[in-house]
Structure formats: C-alpha cells, structure tokens
Amino acid sequence: MPAAGFVAPGGVEFEARITPYVIITCIMAASGGLMFGYDIGISGGVTSMNDFLEKFFPVVYRKKNEIQDNNTYCKYDNQGLQLFTSSLYLAGLIATFFASYTTRVWGRKPTMLIAGILFLIGVVLNAVAQDLAMLIIGRIMLGCGVGFANQAVPLFLSEIAPTRIRGGLNILFQLNITIGILFANLVNYGTEKITPWGWRLSLGLAAIPALLLTVGSIFIVETPNSLIERGLLEEGRVVLRKIRGTDNVDPEFNELVEASRIAASVKHPFRNLLKRRNRPQLIITMCLQFFQQFTGINAIMFYAPVLFQTLGFKNDASLYSSVITGAVNVVSTLVSIYSVDKVGRRVLLLEAGVQIFVSQVIIGILLATGLKEDEDISKGMAIVIVLMVCTFVSAFAWSWGPLAWLIPSETFPLETRSAGQSVTVCVNLFFTFVIAQAFLSMLCHFKYGIFLFFAGLVLIMSTFVLFLLPETKNVPIEEMTEKVWRQHWLWKKYVTDSDLIDDEDGDAYANQETGKDNVKAYHNSQL
C-alpha cells in the first residue's frame, strides 16, 4: 500500500502506511464491537422463546400463553427476566473501573485478552445453563468481558491507526456493534425453530466474536503509546516502525514520549475532571449518554421481539421484524460515517430529533387507538408499526448512536482525557442498565404511553442540542477552547482566563500552554 505523509496538527509531518498491522487492528475492532452488539441483540429473541421461558421463567411462560392475556402490555413484566438482560450492563459498568487500571498498568493487549477469556467463560456458562443462577452468573461474566473490551479496544484502535483514519475508525466501532446486533437477530430467527435447545445455540454462538477477540489479542502488537507510557521506550520505537511501515518514525516517537511525560504529570485526573474549566465537557458527556439511552433505542434493540409479540405479532413475525430493524440500523450507520464530517454533528442530531419524535408519536397513537385487548393486531397496522420503528432506528443510527461516543472523544482535553473516557463508558452502561431493567415494567404500566414518554424526552434532548451543544465538526482538538467553548453563549463563562490558570494540580495545564505541539501530538495520539 502506498506510503502517505500527512501533516499532524503540531505541524510535523509523520510518515505512515496502511500496514497489515493496521488491517488486523480493524479486524480486532470488528470482534470487540461484534461481541458487544451480539449481546445487545441476542437477549430479546432468547427471552421470547418458549423453551427458554418454560425452563427459566415459568411464570412468564404461563402468562404469555394464556389466551385471554394475549395482547396485554404486561405479559413480560418480570424483574428476573429483566435482570437476565440488565445484569450484563451492571457488571460491565463495574468492570470498567478495573479495566481502566489494567489498560494503563498492564497495557491494552492483556486487557483485551482478559476481556476475551471472561467473555468465553460467560458464553459456556450460558450455553450449558441448568438453572437461573448459572444463567445470571454467565451474563455477569459476559458483562465483565464487555467492560474490559469496551475500555481497551477503542483506545487500542485510536492509538494504532494513522491519524487520517482515526475519526472514521471511531464510528467503525459503532458500525460493528450494529453488525453484531443484526447477526444476533438473524441467529435468533434461525434457532427459534430448533426446539428445545435453540436458545442454547443462540447464547453459545457468542463464542465466535469472543474467540476472534481472544485469539486476535494474542497475535497483535501492543500499542507504542502503552509501551512508552510503561517505560519500554525501545520496544515502543520498534512497534511504531512496524505499524507505520517505515523506519522514519523519530518525529512521531519523540512526540509520543513527550505526550506521555505530560500525561504522567497529571496527578489527579478524576479531581481535574471536576474543575470549573472542564464543566462544559463533563456536563455534555453525561447528558449525551443519558439522552442516548432515553431515546428508547434499547427498548427496541433488547426487546424488539418481545415488544412485537406484546403487540400481537406471532413468534416468527416478531423475529423477522427484528431482523429488519437490525438491518436498517447497520445501513443507517453508514450514512453517519459518510455525512458526519460534511453536514456536522448538530444537523444530524436535530434532524434525527424530528424524525424520532414523529415516529414515536405515531406508534403511541396507533397503539392507543388500534390495539384491542383480545384481538390480534391487523396486518396493516403491523406494517405501519414496523415502518415507524425503522424510521426511529434509522434516525438514531446516524445521530445519537455514534455521536454520543464521538463527541466526548473529541472534546476532552489532555488533562482529563482518560478519566473523561471512563466516565463516558460508565454513564452509558449505567443508563443502559436502567433501561434494560425498567423497560418491560414501564411498558406494562405506561402501555402505549411509553412511546409518548420517550417522544417527550426527545423534545428535551433536541432543545439541549439546539442551545447547549456547540458544533465540533472540523475543529482540531487543541483549538476547542478558543474556537468552541469561548465562542458559546453559556460555556464561555466556564473558560475565562482565571478558570484556565487557577490550578493547584496544574502542571499539565501549564505544560499545555508552553508545549502546545506536544499536547497536540498527544491529543492526536489519543484520538
């Protein structure tokens, strides 16, 4: 592949090729994202399968099959059933704290290996589960795997990829999540017909992405950033040569060494995060994660088959409807990759706000007027509902899906970068857990109103975007303060000169001012 020189924001030209190592990295990203996506997509189908319910949740099974209860909103309302889905995200959330330690102290590569192994243990426990305890412990192990993988894989990717493809790779990870979800939907569609052990196959096939990650993490290289951070300078230089496909790596190497020195001088990253000058990014990150989950997307991703059955679809129809929404999710993510740097983040989020609002209100109204307690749903109405769900999913996939991950990754400055990333992952998994645990109960109590509830929240989040989320398209990270925060009617109050200087922990910040090029290189290396 041709060598490509590119100008780094620091003004230094680094040489880099798209080498085989970089290609292997993409495959790694695929397996990390696939693993996460597969988990998101598999549980809904499995929890709608009769054999599975009869074995682990007999109460739900009986409720589901009582004819007179056919169309009620409450047939899946069971805390244990929701715990089956949600336990994974709670475990993932807790694992993130350990993963941030192993990622820093042991490196990215061992952390990914740990992720793969934990995940494989979870897969085995799930596939051979004899009782609910085994099932839930298996889910917890899977969650730990996801926590470790989600911390290490994106970091690994951003460090190993040449700068010019870093932004695209960020959304590529999301694309792989959506492919994982679709793969899981397809598997469920096939295994539902295999009775009585189809669900075991569904849960067991999660081993495919997990094996890819485990085996992959044995063969890949450690990132130069991690080696240098841990004092292994020469090893770092060798790896840099390998992945860049050239011997001329000194400029990049020197910048990495300097960036790692600066990063090491930040004594209290989490305390730093709470400083006034970091308030805009912190608030925006937390809101983005909260809003992403409260679009209601995971009501669809986790529970689409259950939801469609609740609405009166037959087993088969509900599973293939989930396949359709899964495919729409993948294709629409491609739209985002193509347009995010052209039309910008705000346009995508605002357009999606309108689209999500309209589709949810239509679903709510249709259900309120058309769904009768003891009748099957009409064919016409079923089609309109699936269409509206697709409209919703597509809007999410080019907006809140990738952008809730992308925007925090491009706004946190050096001093709070890794702490900021941990907060992003934790807040996301926390709200994912909340939705997984609460959705079926909310559906039972709010009935069709659940969609109006989400629609109301979409109005709030769009207002947030309109007034509080500045555009970050094409702004170099090191210029965020000047070009973004200082230009914003509200956030500029948090980045006054005295906010920027007043810093008892501020070695790093002072260094940023005097050694901007180094900081630029560090930002660069982190994205």
Residues at the site binding ligand BGC, with contacts judged by CB under 6 A: 40, 174, 177-178, 181, 292, 297-298, 301, 329, 401, 428, 432
Please say which residue, 301 or 348, places its beta carbon nearer to ligand BGC: 301
Q: Which residues of 497-519 are buried (b: 16+ CB within 10 A; e: fewer)?
A: eeebeeeeebebbebbeebebbb
Helices 108-127 and 20-47, axial angle in degrees (round to 10): 30
Q: How far is the CB of 98 from ligand BGC (least distance, A)?
A: 20
DSSP state for residue 194 in the 8-state scheme: S
Q: How many contiguous H segments (helices) and E segments (strands) does the chain have?
A: 25, 2
The enclosing H or E element of 17 equals strand 13-17
Nearest to 73 by CA among 449, 453, 456, 454: 449
Please say which residue, 260 or 428, places its beta carbon nearer to ligand BGC: 428
Q: How far is the CB of 333 from ligand BGC (least distance, A)?
A: 7
Q: How far is the CB of 298 from ligand BGC (least distance, A)?
A: 5
Please say which residue, 269 or 401, places its beta carbon nearer to ligand BGC: 401
The enclosing H or E element of 304 equals helix 297-310
CA distance 412 to 359: 34
> Cα-atom radius of gyration of the chain, to the nearest Å?
24
CA distance 243 to 433: 38
Q: How far is the CB of 470 from ligand BGC (least distance, A)?
A: 21
Please say which residue, 16 or 465, places its beta carbon nearer to ligand BGC: 465
Nearest to 46 by CA among 141, 142, 178, 135: 135
Q: How far is the CB of 180 from ligand BGC (least distance, A)?
A: 9
Residue pair 182/327 in contact by the 8 Å Cβ criterion: yes
Please say which residue, 111 or 293, places its beta carbon nearer to ligand BGC: 293
> Could you tell me the CA-to-CA distances from 12 to 19, 171, 252, 410 in Å, in that order?
21, 26, 8, 21
Please say which residue, 144 or 500, places its beta carbon nearer to ligand BGC: 144
Q: How far is the CB of 487 from ligand BGC (least distance, A)?
A: 28
Q: How far is the CB of 166 from ligand BGC (least distance, A)?
A: 18
Please say which residue, 186 or 301, places its beta carbon nearer to ligand BGC: 301
